[in-house]
Every structure is written in C-alpha cells, then in structure tokens.
C-alpha cells in the first residue's frame, strides 16, 4: 500500500502498478484498461508519491511476478548493481534532478545504463515534462553499426520504407529509387511485406540485396516479417542482413506475437553467423509501441507506457541496430490525438535512450486518429532536437500498404536542414560520390538525375507517361 498526505487529505494506492498507472499523463489506452487516475488531482498526487519512492523499490517489488514472466526475470537477473551504484541512493524525484543536472554527463549516463531498469526509466519519465524528456535524451548517446554507423552526434538517419500493397517489384524499386535520390535509407531499407510468407520474404530480400550490391550502398536491408520466417529464410540461404521482430514488454504479449526470448536468441545467432556487416555487428531490428500489451490482453494491470519501457529490456538483451517505436500506428484507442502521440513519442525515445537503445521513431498517425500533418511536424522537430537516431522515410508520407501516414523523404530533409543534422557518414560519402547530393553534407539534392541512374531510367518502356 502506498500512501500520500496532502493538505490533510490522505490518498492511497494499493499497488506499485496502480501508483505508476495513476502517475501517468492521461491517455486513452490507460482509460480503456481502467488503470487511469480518476481525477487530474489524483494524477499529480500519484506523481508526488512516486517522486518520493526510492529507486531501489523497483529491484524489490516486481510489477509482474518474477515466476510468471520471463521479462521480469530478464530485468532482475541482468541488473548490474555496480553500474547502479552512483544513483542507488536516489528517489525517483531525486533521479529526475540528477538526470537534468550537469552531474549526468553523456559518459556518466552511459556508465549507469546497465543499472537502470525499465520500471525506473518509466517512473522518472512520468514526472518529467516534455522539455525534460528532450534534454536528457539529447545527452544519451547510443551508437550502433552494420554497414553504416547510426547515432553519431549531429547525425539523423532514415529507414527507407518502400512498401507496396502487392509487393510488386517495380513499385518497390520505384520507391527505393525515389528515396535514395532524396537521400533516404542510411538506417535501413526495410519493407513490410503485404503477405507474411517465407517465399515472398526471400524474394524481397534478394531484390534489396541486388540493389545494395549494384550501387554499393553503405546500408542494410530488412524484410519486416515474423522472426520464424526470417529464420527459415536464413536456412534457405537468403541474403538476410537484419532480423526483425515486433516486441512487447510482457511474456504474454510476446507469446501472442508467437515468439519468446529463446526464439530471438536463436535468430540473432543465425544472423551473426552470416557475417554480412562491414563496420559493425548489430543485427537486430525491433519495433515497439505503447498499447501492444493491452491490445493482446497481456498487460497485467500495468499502464501502457511502463509495458512499453519493459519491451526495451527485451531489445537491450539482443544488441539491436535499430529500435523503432511506432508511436501513432496503434490508433486512437491507445493514443487518442496528436497531443497524446507527441507525449508518447518523447517518452519512448527518452526511456529507450536512457536504457542504452538506438531509438528511432515512426512519427505517424492513422486516419481514425485525431491527428494530422501539423502534429507530425511538431513531433518530428521535437525528436530532432532530442537527438533521435532515425525516423522513417516514405514517398509523400503515404504508406500505400500499411494505410497510415509517416514522415516523408522531404520531412527528413526539413529536419536535417533546420537542425543542422547529417546522414550517417558512410552514406553521406556515398550520396556525394553518386552525385545525388551536391553539398557533401546530405542537405542539398542535385537538380538533375545522377549519372549512375540515367541508364536504368532511359531504358524504361515508352508510353507510360507521367500523370
């Protein structure tokens, strides 16, 4: 039982999970789950009570029982008490002060990472304002590599996402070309296949591998299919760079996705054995998003933002190249409008970075959410300031396969220009070498069609005029 007295009134929170949930800034998913604070005042009182809680509490009291959940076991068994030592005496409220203070240098933040649990990160985020989430995340540096290096200071990368509703090869190739010529794709060229099928995945992997090899692009490819499909593709000798999986923060969520931690370990070993990286060996690509545990009825009464942070424990175990919070995809049942999506995007980016993950964000919304392009412009700019490792890039913001809107190739160039960001260094050199960009910093595209692509386009059949 957690108690708090305020002006003669006594408040009670029956469990740590209830305290955490009620301290969470309002969002529709917690309302749906019935765990939200009943009043605005109760929320702030819960935040005050949470601020007084020692960080150590989270090592002694599991939100989801140790014997029922392999992610709880992962979090507690892998906790590094030596790394935790510099902050072990702090309450959640003191931890916020420490994170914001000049004591928490980028080096210090990196050294305490392994001592911070997802629940600690979630707890402190609940008592942080948006600017706090941005400021601390900007101090957390996480760098990963495969054929390009992602997460260097002053850099922002993009996933080129050339999805097509029927996986049509010409359509996919056209979107890849459009993206490359707008300087997109240094984080990964990643396709969501229209049908989850091993044969289709292999075909798409081959397509991307051939393009990457022909044009010597310093990037990696990924087909975002189920981990067991990728394992089969590897067995069939397909050119797999990265293993993809959507992950959640409870064992039951992941079981509903059809995998467990052992599956991920097996897949990572298989991808590492292919030895396809050039400058690094981070071979996993994970996607997450608040609300997935509730959606799978696997949240154990824990609020959706804490469940999300727990998913980062899963990601952290497998040293991913990329972790992408797909923040607005799940819909208004979980994040109702632009305000809730913005808050969630900043929380996820902060918690992931604090825990040492190469966080990117799919800054997105669906057509049934109360959000629009202006909301996305705002979140994109905020995450750019916060030092987000990568964002999505798609032609004209319109994913014609997944039926939602995410950031466009143009959007990425906007944020690079206003915030003076550059692409991954290997990719930036390639853009210059290929005469795709003319300024050497990935900010000014060339006017005409670069030499290397002229022949491919000159050979297109006639009679298919522009619309």
Partner 1 sequence: MTERKLAVTENPWRRLSAWTDARIGLGRAGISLPTQEMLAFQLAHAQARDAVHLPLDTDRLMADLKELTGSRKTLLRHDPVHLQSQACDRITYLQRPDLGRRLSQPSCEALDRLGHTGDSPVDLALVIADGLSSYGVQENAVGFLEALLTDLETDDQPWELAPLVVVSQGRVAIGDDVGHRLNARCVVVLIGERPGLSSPDSLGLYLTWQPGPGLTDASRNCISNIRPAGLSCGEASRRLMYLLRAARRKKVSGVPLKDRSEEAVIDQGIGNFLLR
| Binding residues for partner 1 restricted to 184-203, rule: CB under 8 A | 194-200, 203
290 known ligand binder? no
186 known ligand binder? no
Cβ-based nearer residue to partner 1, 66 or 215: 215
SS3 for the chain is CEEEEECCEEEEECCHHHHHHHCCCCCHHHHHHCCCCCCHHHHHHHHHHHHCCECCHHHHCCCCCHHHCHHHHHHHHCCCHHHHHHHCCCEHHHHHHHHHCCCCCHHHHHHHHHHCCHHHHHHHHHCCCHHHHHHHHHHCCCCEECCCEECCCCECEEEECCCCCCCCHHHHHHHHHHHHHCCCCCCEEEECCCCCCHHHHHHHHHHHHHHHHHCCCCCCEEECCCHHHHHHHHHCCCCCCCEEEECCCCHHHHHHCCCCHHHHHHHHHHHHHHCCCCCCCCCEEEEECCCHHHHCCCCCCCCHHHHHHHHHHHHHHCCCCEEEEECCCCCCCCCCEHHHHHHHHHHHHHHHHHCCCCEEEECCECCCCECCHHHHHHHHHHHHHHCCCEEEEEHHHEECCCCEECCEHHHHHHHHHHHCCECCHHHHHHHHHCCCECCCCCCCECCCCCHHHHHHHHCCCCCCCCC
For residue 402, the minimal CB distance to partner 1 (Å) is 7
200 known ligand binder? no
* Residue 301 is a binding residue for partner 1 (CB under 8 A): no
For residue 248, the minimal CB distance to partner 1 (Å) is 11
The rounded distance, in Å, linking the Cα atoms of 59 and 247 is 23
Q: How far is CA 440 from CA 222, 426, 427, in A?
A: 27, 12, 11
Q: Name the segment binding partner 1 (CB under 8 A); options: 136-144, 168-176, 301-309, 339-347.
A: 168-176
Cβ-based nearer residue to partner 1, 187 or 364: 364
287 known ligand binder? yes
99 known ligand binder? no
* Residue 230 is a binding residue for partner 1 (CB under 8 A): no
Return the residue of 40, 170, 262, 275 that touches partner 1, per CB under 8 A. Answer: 170
322 known ligand binder? no
Cβ-based nearer residue to partner 1, 11 or 453: 453
* Residue 175 is a binding residue for partner 1 (CB under 8 A): yes
Contact map string, positions 334 to 373, toward partner 1, x by CB under 8 A: --x-----------------------------xxx---xx
Contact map string, positions 120 to 149, toward partner 1, x by CB under 8 A: ------------------------------
Return the residue of 226, 268, 421, 422 that touches partner 1, per CB under 8 A. Answer: 226
449 known ligand binder? no
295 known ligand binder? yes
Q: Looking at residues 384 to 443 of the shown chain, list those that interact with partner 1 (rule: CB under 8 A).
A: 394-405, 408, 410, 413-414, 417, 443
Applying CB under 8 A, what is the total number of residues that bind partner 1? 84
131 known ligand binder? no
Cβ-based nearer residue to partner 1, 352 or 423: 423
245 known ligand binder? yes
Return the residue of 1, 14, 262, 457 that touches partner 1, per CB under 8 A. Answer: 457
Return the residue of 56, 73, 255, 281 that touches partner 1, per CB under 8 A. Answer: 255
Q: Looking at residues 45 to 104 of the shown chain, list those that interact with partner 1 (rule: CB under 8 A).
A: none
For residue 448, the minimal CB distance to partner 1 (Å) is 7
- Binding-site positions for substrate read 159-161, 192, 287, 362
- Binding-site positions read 159-161, 192-193, 245, 287, 295, 362, 401
């Amino acid at each position: 039982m957690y108690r708090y007295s305020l002006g003669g009134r006594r408040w009670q929170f029956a469990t740590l999970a209830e305290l955490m949930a009620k301290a969470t800034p309002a969002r529709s998913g917690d309302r749906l789950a019935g765990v939200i604070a009943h009043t605005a005042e109760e929320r702030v009182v819960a935040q005050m009570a949470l601020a007084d809680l020692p960080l150590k509490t989270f090592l002694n009291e599991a939100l989801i029982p140790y014997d029922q959940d392999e992610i709880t076991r992962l979090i507690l068994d892998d906790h590094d008490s030596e790394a935790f030592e510099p902050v072990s005496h702090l309450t959640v409220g003191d931890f916020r002060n420490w994170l914001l203070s000049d004591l928490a240098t980028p080096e210090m933040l990196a050294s305490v990472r392994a001592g911070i649990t997802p629940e600690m990160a979630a707890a402190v985020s609940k008592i942080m304002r948006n600017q706090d989430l941005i400021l601390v995340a900007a101090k957390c540096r996480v760098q990963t590599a495969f054929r390009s290096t992602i997460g260097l200071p002053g850099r922002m990368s993009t996933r080129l996402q050339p999805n097509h509703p029927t996986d049509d090869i010409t359509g996919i190739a056209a979107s890849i070309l459009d993206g490359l010529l707008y300087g997109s794709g240094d984080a990964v060229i990643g396709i969501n296949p229209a049908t989850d099928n091993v044969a289709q995945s292999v075909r798409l992997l081959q397509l991307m591998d051939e393009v990457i090899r022909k044009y010597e692009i310093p990037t990696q490819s990924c087909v975002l299919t189920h981990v067991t499909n990728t394992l089969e593709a590897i067995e069939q000798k397909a050119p797999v760079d990265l293993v993809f999986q959507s992950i959640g923060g409870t064992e039951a969520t992941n079981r509903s996705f059809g995998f467990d931690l052992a599956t991920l370990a097996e897949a990572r070993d298989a991808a590492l054995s292919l030895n396809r990286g050039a400058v690094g060996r981070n071979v996993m690509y994970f996607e997450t998003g608040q609300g997935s545990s509730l959606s799978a009825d696997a949240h154990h009464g824990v609020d959706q933002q804490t469940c999300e942070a727990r998913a980062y424990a899963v990601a952290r175990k497998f040293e991913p190249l990329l972790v992408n919070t797909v923040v607005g995809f799940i819909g208004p049942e979980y994040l109702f409008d632009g305000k809730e999506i913005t808050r969630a995007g900043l929380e996820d980016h902060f918690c992931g970075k604090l825990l040492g993950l190469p966080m990117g964000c799919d800054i997105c919304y669906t057509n049934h959410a109360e959000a629009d392009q202006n909301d996305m412009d705002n979140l994109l700019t905020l995450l750019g300031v916060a030092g987000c490792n990568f964002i999505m890039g798609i032609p004209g913001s319109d994913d014609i396969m997944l039926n939602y809107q995410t950031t466009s190739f143009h959007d990425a160039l906007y944020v690079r220009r206003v915030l003076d960001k550059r692409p991954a260094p290997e990719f930036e050199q390639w853009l210059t070498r290929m005469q795709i960009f003319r300024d050497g910093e990935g900010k000014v595209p060339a006017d005409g069609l670069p030499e290397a692509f002229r022949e491919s386009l000159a050979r297109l059949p006639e009679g298919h005029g522009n619309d």
